[in-house]
Amino acid sequence: MPLFILRRILQSFNVLFVMSLLVFAGVYAIGNPLDLLVDPNATADDMARAAASLGLDQPLWVQYGRFLANAMRGDLGNSFIHGVPALGLIVERLPATLELAVVAMLIAVLLGIPLGLWAGLKPDSWTGRAIMAGSILGFSLPTFWVGLMLIMVFAVQLGWLPASGRGSTADVLGVSISLLTADGWRHLLLPAANLALFKLSLIIRLTRSGTREALLQDYVKFARAKGLSNARVVGVHVLKNILIPIVTVVGLEFGSLIAFSVVTESIFAWPGMGKLLLDSITQLDRPVVVAYLLLVVTLYVLINLVVDLLYAALDPRVRLAGARA
């Protein structure tokens, strides 16, 4: 097991290296940030001085070499426009994004699995059909449209919830969390619901098809023949067996919730990481873009690792490669 984890970590360094090279070259190719950022009245001399102080006067390979050398020491560079470390800028926004992602995922899982089970157990009932129809809507409606509708209905028309932004926060060990205040929850509900909708539909459909398949299996028939209660058959035997694909998908989707909830974050002006990425790309703030994507890769590697470990826990047949070595 430790060897398995070690091997995973070594592999991820390769991924990080290739990723940094691609992103670095990609942002470089879009354009020169100084053309956007420097005051129009600046002279060529001012431009040259600004370029030199940011290291932008060097050829690409020198800039990349410097970046690598600093990255080895854990320094991913300063944001051009904020003048503070890029990594710090991202980590500052991590709590906001994490709480949004966690709440959205909880909504999706806590609603999705029961609804999916119901639809799988009673596929021909009108409730089962209604759940499936709803999940198709959840899949096909564009996120930004649903977000705007939520704002129009709940914030503008009814005035129940605020339209955007993050609520007041409370500090826990130096991390500001808005889940601990009522105002924080009021602000969180709409964006979390918006973000959860797609994942919810996905989980409903996965659970339903898994359930329908499992119900036909011999072990379910056997369990029923043994006279087990319906609750135990569904809650233990069916549920445990259909969880494996759901855990995989939830893991990967959680990664994308954290890294790329850009649309929801910009519609609700949620001060999370996705919005930072978008702003940084449009302003060609390369250090932030590179640091961001490196962080995301790391995050995915970690999530995949957790998913693999969960497999082993859920399914005794799964052996982690390397566990034998």
Partner 1 sequence: MASTPKFRPSFLLAFRTAALAVALSGGAAAMPAVAAELKIGLSSEVTTLDPHFFNSGPNIAFHHHLYDSLVDVDAEGKLIPALAESWKAIDDTTWEFKLRRGVKFHDGSEMTADDVLFSLDRPAQITASPGPFTSYTKPIVAKQAVDRYTVRLKTASAYGPLPLDLISIFIVSKKAAAKATQEQFNSGAAAIGTGPFKLVSFRKGESIEIARNDAYWGAKPEWDKVQFKVLASDAPRLAALLAGDVDLIEAVPPADLAKLKGNPKIGLAQHTTWRTIFWQLDQFRDVSPFVTDKAGKPLAKNPLKDVRVRQAISKAINRQALVERTLEGLAQPASNLNSPGIFGYNAELKVEAYDPQGAKKLLADAGYPDGFGLTLHGPNNRYINDEQVVQTVAQFLNRVGIQAKVETQPLSVYFGKARASDYSMAMLGWGSLASDFTLRSIVGTPNPDTGWGTWNWGKYSNPAVDKLVQQALGSVDVARREDFARQAVKAAMSDYAVIPSHHQIATWALRKGLNYKGRIDEFTYAYEVHSVR
Which residues lie near partner 1 (CB under 8 A)? 30-47, 49-50, 53-54, 78, 80-84, 89, 92-93, 148, 151-152, 155-159, 162-166, 168, 182-183, 266-269, 271, 275-276, 279, 281-284
Minimum Å gap between C-beta 148 and partner 1 is 6
Nearer to partner 1, 28 or 139 (CB): 28
Which CB atom, from 128 or from 167, has the smaller least distance to partner 1?
167
Does residue 208 contact residue 120 with C-beta atoms inside 8 Å?
A: yes
Nearer to partner 1, 116 or 272 (CB): 272
8 A C-beta contact, residue 99 and residue 188: yes
Nearest distance in Å: CB 38, partner 1: 5
Q: Which is nearer to partner 1, 242 or 276 (CB)?
A: 276
Q: How far is it, in rounded angstroms, from Cα 78 to Cα 277?
A: 15
Instruction: Give min distance, CB of 164 to partner 1, in A.
Output: 5
Picking from 284, 258, 263, the residue whose alpha carbon sits closest to that of residue 91 is 258
Q: Which is nearer to partner 1, 166 or 205 (CB)?
A: 166
Shortest spacing between CB 132 and partner 1, in angstroms: 31
% helix / strand / coil in the chain, to the nearest 5?
A: 75, 0, 25
Q: CA geometry: angle at 297 spanning 292 and 300, to 5°? A: 125
DSSP string, 70-94: HHHTT---B-TTT-SBHHHHHHHHH
Q: Are 198 and 139 spatial neighbours (Cβ–Cβ below 8 Å)? A: yes
Residue 81 beta carbon to partner 1: minimum distance, rounded to whole angstroms? 5
Q: State which residue, 35 or 124, has the beta carbon closest to partner 1.
A: 35
Tokens of 157: 């028309």
Q: How far is the CB of 165 from partner 1 (least distance, A)?
A: 6
Closest listed residue to residue 205, CA positions, set 100, 118, 300? 118
